[in-house]
């Protein structure tokens, strides 16, 4: 079985071609910032990214007709349970509709997968999209009747980490209580109760600040900023989700560079680095209360988990809760490929989005 995997991020599109479980091509297409800034919306980037993928496949000598399926990292639609979904008209429609309210580059994963797969008469899928919602009802209550807390997270990598841990311990995921922190450009801290993600910070707008997002902010200051006349809606969304967090203080979202600055005695960099670790640890502590302290392990994953100082700083504050395990990097490409493979091999049914 040959599967094309498409994972669009804010500055790149990762591409994989898998022959069953083995990656035969893994490439990252980097998109020039000025090139992307020509598009007003994520949806407008569809053709630009699709043709970049098709060019790359041609260069690598991959004919589309060889493919058995295409799977993309899926974007924001209505809250749905975890799993692999066939991309159908209803899903395509909602990817476009929801994008008007809240954008995420992974929306292009489903849309591009659908266009490529349709052209060759093969199925397209998404798996564990960012809007996976397994919240317990209590987690939805925000404190204001008009606003519901939303589950928005790195579901693919969080669940891949859960499965990886279960396999390493010889346990069934349905028996596991874990806290998983995905530390990337955005940050997810998830409470997993018996294999279900029952609460998360919301990687776009809550919890700890991240390399480029603010996380939770004092609400009255946000209201005052919004009505100051200095910012448009899109200015604020950009500031909060792309130019917030570490970037807002230090002008970079590159944590390796921040750590270099700390080593060179930069006091502001040290303060911001410490505060990010402090906020992540605080969120992990909060999720421990969700699980009433019954936590088997705290898993730290994502690009930032490559850094030992980060792991140590967080561990100092949370090791009293449970053991800390680090899985540096992310496993999204293989998680997507394996999800498609399970469906193609009829080990699992694809879910139908309605």
Ligand X SMILES: Nc1ncnc2c1ncn2[C@@H]1O[C@H](COP(=O)(O)OP(=O)(O)O)[C@@H](O)[C@H]1O
CA atoms within 13 A on the CB side of 208: 30
Residue with CB nearest ligand LANB7ZPL? Answer: 186
DSSP 8-state secondary structure symbol assigned to residue 346 = T
Write out the binding residues for ligand X, residues 180-199 only, by CB under 6 A: 184-186
Which residue ranges make up the site for ligand LANB7ZPL (CB under 6 A)?
9-10, 104, 130, 152-154, 184-186, 203-204
- Which CB sits closer to ligand LANB7ZPL, 153 or 325? 153
Q: What's the full length of the chain, in residues?
A: 354
Is 110 an interacting residue with respect to ligand X (CB under 6 A)? no
Among 123, 211, 215, 244, binds ligand X (CB under 6 A): 211
Residue-by-residue DSSP string for 154-188: -HHHHHHHHHHHHHHHT--GGG-EEEEEEESSSEE
Q: 17 with 2: CB under 8 angstroms?
A: yes
Write out the binding residues for ligand X, residues 37-66 only, by CB under 6 A: none
Minimum Å distance from CB 23 to ligand LANB7ZPL? Answer: 20
- Total residues contacting ligand X (rule CB under 6 A)? 15
Considering CB distances under 5 to 8 angstroms, the limit depending on partner class, which of ligand LANB7ZPL, ligand X, none binds residue 133? none
- Which CB sits closer to ligand X, 140 or 242? 242
Among 209, 330, 334, 341, binds ligand X (CB under 6 A): 330
Minimum Å distance from CB 11 to ligand X? Answer: 9
Q: 258 with 269: CB under 8 angstroms?
A: yes
29: left (phi > 0), else alpha (psi -120 to 50), else beta?
Answer: beta
Strands (E), 33-176: 69-72, 84-86, 124-127, 141-144, 147-148
Please state, in angstroms and as integers, the Cα–Cα distance from residue 108 to each residue in 10, 14, 29, 62, 253, following that order. Answer: 11, 12, 14, 21, 23
Minimum Å distance from CB 183 to ligand LANB7ZPL? Answer: 10
Is 306 an interacting residue with respect to ligand X (CB under 6 A)? yes
Among 162, 307, 325, 343, binds ligand X (CB under 6 A): 307
Considering CB distances under 5 to 8 angstroms, the limit depending on partner class, which of ligand X, ligand LANB7ZPL, none binds residue 302? ligand X
Is 326 an interacting residue with respect to ligand X (CB under 6 A)? no
Among 181, 255, 311, 341, binds ligand X (CB under 6 A): 255
165: left (phi > 0), else alpha (psi -120 to 50), else beta?
Answer: alpha
Among 106, 214, 253, 279, binds ligand X (CB under 6 A): 253
Considering CB distances under 5 to 8 angstroms, the limit depending on partner class, which of ligand X, ligand LANB7ZPL, none binds residue 203? ligand LANB7ZPL
Is 322 an interacting residue with respect to ligand X (CB under 6 A)? no
- Whose tokens are 């995420």? That residue is 104
Specify the long-range contacts of residues 174-179, CB closer than 8 Å, at least 24 apart. Answer: 176/296, 177/291, 177/294, 177/295, 177/296, 178/295, 178/296, 178/297, 178/298, 178/299, 179/284, 179/287, 179/288, 179/291, 179/295, 179/297, 179/298, 179/299, 179/321, 179/322
Contact pattern from residue 7 through residue 26 relative to ligand X, giving x for each residue in contact according to CB under 6 A and a dash for the rest: --x-----------------
Q: 152 with 203: CB under 8 angstroms?
A: yes
Minimum Å distance from CB 130 to ligand X? Answer: 11
Residue with CB nearest ligand X? Answer: 184
Q: Residue 335 has which token pair?
A: 């998680």
Give the angle subtended at the CA of 193 by the CAs of 189 and 7, to the nearest 5°.
Answer: 50
Residues that bind ligand X (CB under 6 A): 9, 184-186, 211, 253-256, 302-304, 306-307, 330
């Amino acid at each position: 079985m040959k599967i094309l995997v498409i994972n669009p991020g804010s500055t790149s599109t990762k591409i994989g071609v898998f022959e069953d479980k083995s990656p035969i091509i893994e490439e990252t297409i980097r998109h020039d910032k000025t090139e992307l800034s020509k598009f007003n919306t994520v949806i407008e980037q569809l053709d630009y990214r699709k043709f970049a993928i098709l060019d790359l496949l041609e260069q690598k000598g991959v004919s589309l007709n060889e493919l058995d399926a295409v799977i993309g990292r899926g974007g924001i639609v209505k809250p749905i349970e975890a799993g692999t979904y066939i991309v159908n008209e209803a899903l395509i429609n909602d990817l476009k509709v929801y994008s008007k309210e809240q954008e995420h580059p992974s929306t292009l994963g489903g849309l591009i997968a659908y266009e490529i797969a349709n052209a060759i008469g093969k199925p397209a899928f998404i798996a564990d999209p960012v809007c996976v919602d397994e919240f317990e009802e209590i987690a939805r209550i925000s404190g204001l009747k008009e606003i519901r807390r939303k589950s928005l997270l790195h579901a693919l990598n969080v669940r891949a980490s859960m499965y990886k841990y279960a396999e390493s311990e010889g346990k069934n995921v349905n028996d596991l209580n874990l806290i998983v922190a995905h530390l990337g450009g955005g940050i997810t801290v998830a409470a997993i109760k018996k294999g279900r993600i029952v609460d998360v910070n919301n990687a776009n707008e809550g919890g700890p600040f991240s390399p480029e997002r603010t996380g939770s902010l004092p609400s009255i200051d946000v209201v005052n900023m919004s009505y100051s006349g200095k910012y448009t809606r899109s200015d604020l969304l950009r500031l909060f989700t792309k130019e917030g967090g570490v970037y807002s203080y230090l002008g970079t979202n590159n944590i390796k560079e921040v750590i270099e600055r700390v080593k060179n005695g930069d006091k502001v960099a040290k303060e911001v680095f410490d505060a990010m670790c402090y906020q992540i640890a605080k969120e992990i502590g909060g999720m421990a209360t969700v699980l009433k302290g019954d936590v088997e392990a705290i898993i730290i994953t994502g690009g930032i988990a490559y850094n030992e100082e980060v792991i140590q700083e967080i561990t100092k504050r949370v090791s009293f809760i449970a053991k800390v395990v680090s899985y540096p990097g992310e496993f999204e490409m293989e998680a997507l490929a394996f999800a498609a493979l399970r469906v193609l091999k009829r080990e699992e049914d694809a879910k139908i989005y309605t």
